[in-house]
Structure 1
Amino acid sequence: MRARAEAKAATRLRVLRAVLELSEEKMTIEITLDEVASRAATSVQTVLRHFGSRDGLLDAAVALASAEVEQERRAPAGDVAGAVEAVVAHYERRGDFVLRLLGQEHDPRIAAVVGPGKELHRRWVEDTFGPQLQARPEGDREALADLLVVATDLYTWKLLRRDRGLDRPTTQSRMHAMVTAILAGGD
């Protein structure tokens, strides 16, 4: 019984990984159940048995990716260097993919993914820089959080890394300088 449960869980994870891999290669709307099943070395029927529908499959893939993103971005509260390092590493891994998603956010399914992602980023800023935010007068915290959101945003990484062509250490250093300047200057 235990072996069967482990095999079922492994198949489920293989299918979810297949969806995530395919979503890095093409627009989500273009992904078919046949492609997912083929990539996961299983059948469409097995995919449907696990997830019920294509929508159920995509919802489960979003949930898995969201959990992984939260883990990747984890940094000790108040650790500016650690926070910037974590977010840049996250963008190095997933940034181009998320930029493609943002380009599709007119699709309601994609909007349902990127909307919570934007909220996650704001929460990450508020949690990660919580000690610095709490040290400020209450009226200044929201403005300061706004500035920190921008300084650590995916589009900031894109402007430096992709548009300017800077290497990872320079990008990280410039984002760190922005965060440090924001924290030193208040709002």
Structure 2
Amino acid sequence: MCHRMGKQRAYTLGARGEAMAATRERILRSVLDLSEEKMTIEITLDEVASRAGTSVQTVLRHFGTREGLLDAAVAKASAEVAEERRAPAGDPEAAIGVIVAHYERRGDFVLRLLSQEHDPRIGAVVGPGKLLHRAWVEEMFQRQLDARPGADRDALVDLLVVATDVYAWKLLRRDRGLDPDTTRARMFALVSAILAAG
């Protein structure tokens, strides 16, 4: 009898833990979805709770404060971005395909973040994001960069950063209205020209 009650209690605690994790995930996803629709400063706890199908009190129980919630959402988004940008190093065409797919999914959101970088919390994300993009460029094109020992590596990396930046995607995709395939082809042409000239 005691053994059965212990098993039942462990099962109940496990189920409760899973339910809490699912609620936390719904809350974070609600913040991320809302941040794609409006400025972060405009997002209220009431909106987050409503979209997550829970109460403001539950949101605060999970994250403590609105700031704690936003910090956790930023950490989650950063982890998702790192995964989305994963590509085989040394394959420029694959790298451009991955980065354009990433921008198709998050480009408008990233541009919205960049427009808010005066906010210290957003600036804390955007600043490291720029460094991560440069590191991504160096990793993706390391083989091509190493094959040009006499070239100015920093200059080549600067040019590759510009050619693969979200603003390059915006100019082609949003401002020019090109489709994703044409955008990918133009960005690949830029990268190819930079690598050939280097």
Which TM bucket (shorter chain)?
over 0.9
Other-structure match for 1:95 = 107
How is 1:11-50 mapped onto 2 (pairs within 5 angstroms)? Answer: 11-50=23-62
Gaps of 5+ in 2: 1-12
Other-structure match for 1:62 = 74
The residue identity in structure 2 corresponding to 1:156 is A
Q: Aligned pair 1:180/2:181, yes or no? A: no
Q: CA deviation at 1:114?
A: 1.3
Other-structure match for 2:8 = none
Other-structure match for 2:163 = 151
Q: CA deviation at 1:138?
A: 7.4
Question: What CA distance in whole angstroms lies between the structure 2 residues aligned with 1:59 and 1:27?
Answer: 15
- Which range moves more in the overlay, 75-84 or 104-113? 104-113
170, 181, 184: which one pairs with 1:169? 181
Q: Aligned pair 1:109/2:132, yes or no? A: no
Question: What CA distance in whole angstroms lies between the structure 1 residues aligned with 2:25 and 2:154?
Answer: 39
Q: Aligned pair 1:126/2:146, yes or no? A: no
Give secondary structure in 2 for the equivalent of 1:179: helix
Structure 1 runs of 4+ aligned residues shifted over 6 Å read none
Question: What CA distance in whole angstroms lies between the structure 2 residues aligned with 1:92 and 1:138?
Answer: 36
Q: CA deviation at 1:81?
A: 0.7
Question: What CA distance in whole angstroms lies between the structure 1 residues aligned with 2:42 and 2:56?
Answer: 16
Give the direction of change, closer, same or farther, for the CA distance of 1:185–1:54 in structure 2 (3 Å limit).
same
Question: What CA distance in whole angstroms lies between the structure 2 residues aligned with 1:36 and 1:136?
Answer: 51
The residue identity in structure 2 corresponding to 1:108 is P
The residue identity in structure 2 corresponding to 1:36 is V
Give secondary structure in 1 for the equivalent of 2:186: helix
Q: Aligned residue pairs: how many?
A: 186
Other-structure match for 1:79 = 91
Give secondary structure in 1 for the equivalent of 2:36: helix
Question: What CA distance in whole angstroms lies between the structure 1 residues aligned with 2:43 and 2:103?
Answer: 23
TM-score for the superposition, normalised by structure 2: 0.90
- Which range moves more in the overlay, 137-146 or 8-17? 137-146
Give the direction of change, closer, same or farther, for the CA distance of 1:139–1:32 in structure 2 (3 Å limit).
same
Give secondary structure in 2 for the equivalent of 1:25: coil
Q: Deviations over 1:32-91 (max 9, x none)?
A: 111111111111111111111111110110011011111111100011111000000011
TM-score for the superposition, normalised by structure 1: 0.95
Q: CA deviation at 1:139?
A: 6.4
Gaps of 5+ in 1: none
